[in-house]
């Protein structure tokens, strides 16, 4: 049964003829300092598990090749005659070096940016809007600030303890003056926090702190390094698409796919590609945009993010691509029910909305009951379910979408799985 968050725009592009025999994917990972090593391994592991789980033949995956500047990692997946699976080539658009730069930033500077950004979001009412969209994500956003407050209080408690035992106010003290005991206590407190580094990493404190700071900075227009990378990705997509079109075997579908924070990047790249090439998406090769577990509102709802809202409006009104946005109420780090047509103040200049197709990934259907019990309180594991092999056949299927014979539009509107009649999953 279709969930209430599902939305089909009235101006959706017409169906494209024929199955996909060749597909090229530009995949954008999220805010992750280890993207260049994580996603190829994840893809291979999960595709192997997928084939074993559903009794499909294994598909050959080529070795990964990195381009000269380390921003694109590529590999190829062979076609599969038994399931009419498409030959698929992958370009992973990497920006993990920018993330690592954020992690190398002085910790006190990161904390200062966190406090300023969070307080501004609270003062402007933006945090309330986040909570209304998804209270779980609201808690995730506030989690680093709450931890900063707790760590600060612990540091002050340590400083007070040191002063109480070394200062002049107590008969059993060593009689050290206040100007020594207080700074010494603070230093000991900060050393204690540093000693907890491994624990803080395990509970994703720095990951979520830096991720929120990045989104806030981007919404404020204060990430020129990221803007340059967007332009670089746009250049690569246009150049690669031109080379593929001129080849002996051009792809039937080009897909720009992003997960988590990478969904925002995918949206921005797709908008810039269409703006720079007025013919892109008008030929026999269809253009698909897929956003999975997106945190788009984190940036798009910020008052100063006018350019991003303009890019989203261009995509919403465009019939040169089909945009599918998959959401999951069980995922803590996305906004189920968010629809840019409804929730953003977009100027479509009188055009009817043609995008996005908003759909629930229906995690309760594709995750087994046993696995669901284990992962329901593990936010990052649930967030990555968008990229993992299903436990059960279902409406959402990452590998059927990226490696199967259906174009994105048909996959979303009328999915077909091996052994099932067309429309069986959409009913």
188 and 64 part of one domain: no
Nearest to 396 by CA among 355, 360, 368, 369: 360
389 and 268 inside one domain: yes
**pTM value?**
0.90
Q: What is the model's pLDDT at position 174?
A: 52
272 lies in the same domain as 158: no
What would the pLDDT profile of 223-252 be if each residue is shown by its tens digit?
999 999 999 999 999 999 999 999 999 999
pLDDT of 126-175, one tens digit each? 999 999 999 999 999 999 999 989 887 777 776 666 666 655 544 444 55
pLDDT band, residue 201 (cuts 50/70/90): confident
Burial 47-60 (b: 16+ CB within 10 A, else e): beebbeebebeebe
Please write the tens of the pLDDT for every residue from 49-99. 999 999 999 899 999 999 999 999 999 999 998 889 999 999 999 999 999
- DSSP-assigned beta bridge partners for residue 253: 23, 286
In tens, the pLDDT along 332-348 reads: 999 999 999 999 999 99
**Residue that terminates a domain, selected from 181, 215, 249:** 215
The confidence score (pLDDT) of residue 260 equals 97
CA distance 290 to 406: 14
Q: Is 144 within the bounds of a domain?
A: yes
**What's the CATH number where 349 sits?**
3.40.50
| pLDDT surpassing 80 at residue 186 | no
Residue 14 lies in a domain: no
Domain-embedded: residue 185:
yes
Check: CB of residue 370 under 8 Å from CB of residue 28: no
Residue 251 lies in a domain: yes
Q: Please provide the DSSP assignment of 4-22 as one string.
A: TT-B--TTPPPPPPS--SE
Classify residue 318: in a domain, yes or no. Answer: yes
The answer on 234 and 246 residing in a single domain is yes
Closest residue by Cα to residue 211 from 325, 333, 309, 386: 333
| Judgement on whether residues 209 and 314 belong to the same structural domain of the protein | no
Mean pLDDT taken over the chain: 89
Residue 5 lies in a domain: no
Rounded distance between C-alpha atoms, residue 123 and residue 97, angstroms? 32
| Whether 29 contacts 291, CB under 8 Å | no
Cis-peptide into 188, omega within 30 deg:
no
**Total domains, the chain:** 2
Residue 157 has a pLDDT of 73
Distance CA(215)–CA(294), nearest Å, equals 12
Residue 302 CA to residue 216 CA, distance in Å, equals: 8
Q: What is the pLDDT of residue 156?
A: 73
**Number of C-beta neighbours around residue 231 at 10 A:** 12
For residue 322, how many other CB atoms are within 10 A of its CB? 30
Do residue 273 and residue 359 come from a single domain?
A: yes
Q: What is the pLDDT of residue 327?
A: 97
C-alpha distances out from residue 64 to 44, 70, 77, Å: 11, 12, 11
Q: What is the per-residue pLDDT for 425?
A: 46
Q: So what's the pLDDT on residue 423?
A: 41
- Please check whether residue 274 lies inside any domain of the structure: yes
Q: Are residues 157 and 171 in the same domain?
A: yes
Long-range contacts of range 67-76, CB-CB < 8 Å, 24 or more positions apart? Answer: 70/36, 70/94, 70/97, 71/95, 71/229, 71/232, 71/233, 71/236, 72/236, 73/36, 73/39, 73/40, 75/40
Model confidence pLDDT, tens digit, residues 394-416: 999 999 999 999 999 999 998 87
Q: What is the pLDDT of residues 92-105, one digit of tens each?
A: 999 999 999 999 99
Residue 109 and residue 196 in one domain: yes
Q: Which of 186, 215, 244 is the last residue of a domain?
A: 215
pLDDT confidence of residue 64: 95
- Same structural domain, 166 and 292: no
Q: Is residue 329 part of a domain?
A: yes
Residues in the chain: 427
Three-class DSSP labels, 282-336: CCCCEEEEEEECCCCHHHHCCCCCHHHHHHHHHHHHCCCCEEEEEECCCCCCCCC
Please check whether residues 237 and 335 belong to one and the same domain: yes
Do 340 and 245 reside in the same domain of the chain?
yes
Residues spanned by the domain of 272: 22-99+227-413
24 by DSSP, 3-state: which? strand
Among 195, 215, 235, the domain-final residue is 215
Based on its alpha-carbon atoms, the radius of gyration of the chain, rounded to whole angstroms, reads: 24
Say if residue 125 is in the same domain as residue 71.
Answer: no
340 closest CA partner among 322, 329, 353:
353
Q: What is the pLDDT of residue 279?
A: 94
Residue with tokens 């990964």: 64
Bridge partner list, 7: 358
């Amino acid at each position: 049964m279709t969930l209430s968050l599902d939305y089909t725009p009235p101006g959706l592009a017409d169906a494209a003829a024929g199955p996909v025999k060749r597909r090229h994917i530009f995949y954008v990972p999220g805010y992750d300092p280890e993207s260049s090593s994580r996603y190829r391994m994840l893809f291979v592991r999960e595709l192997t598990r997928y084939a074993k789980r559903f009794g499909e033949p294994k598909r050959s995956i080529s070795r990964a090749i990195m381009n000269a500047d380390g921003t694109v990692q590529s590999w190829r997946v062979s076609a599969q005659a038994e399931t009419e699976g498409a030959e698929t080539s992958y370009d992973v658009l990497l920006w993990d070096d920018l993330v690592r730069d954020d992690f190398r930033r002085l910790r006190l500077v990161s904390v200062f940016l966190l406090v300023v950004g969070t307080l501004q979001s609270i003062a402007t009412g933006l945090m309330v809007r986040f909570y209304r969209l998804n209270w779980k994500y609201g808690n995730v956003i506030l989690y680093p600030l709450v931890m900063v407050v707790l760590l600060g209080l612990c540091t002050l408690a340590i400083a007070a303890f040191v002063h109480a035992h070394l200062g002049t106010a107590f008969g059993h003290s060593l009689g050290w003056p206040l100007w020594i005991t207080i700074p010494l206590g603070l230093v000991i407190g900060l050393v204690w926090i540093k000693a907890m580094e491994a624990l803080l990493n395990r509970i994703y404190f720095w990951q979520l702190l830096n991720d929120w700071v990045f989104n806030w900075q981007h919404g404020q227009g204060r990430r020129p390094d990221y803007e340059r990378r967007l332009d670089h990705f746009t250049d690569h997509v246009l150049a690669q698409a031109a080379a593929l079109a001129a080849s002996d075997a051009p792809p039937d579908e080009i897909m720009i796919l992003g997960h988590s924070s990478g969904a925002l990047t995918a949206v921005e790249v797709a908008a810039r590609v269409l703006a720079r090439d007025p013919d892109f998406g008008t030929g026999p090769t269809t253009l698909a945009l897929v956003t999975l577990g997106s945190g788009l509102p984190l940036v798009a709802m910020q008052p100063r993010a006018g350019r991003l809202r303009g890019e989203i409006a261009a995509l919403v009104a465009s019939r040169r691509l089909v945009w599918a946005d998959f959401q999951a109420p069980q995922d803590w780090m996305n906004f189920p029910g968010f629809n840019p047509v409804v929730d953003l103040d977009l100027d479509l200049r009188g055009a009817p909305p043609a995008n996005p197709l908003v759909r629930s990934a229906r995690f309760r259907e594709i995750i087994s009951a046993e696995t669901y019990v284990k992962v329901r309180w593990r936010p990052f594991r649930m967030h990555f379910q968008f990229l993992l092999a299903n436990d059960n056949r279902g409406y959402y299927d990452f590998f059927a979408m990226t490696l199967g014979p259906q174009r994105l539009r048909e996959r979303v509107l009328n999915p077909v799985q091996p052994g099932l009649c067309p429309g069986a999953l959409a009913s």
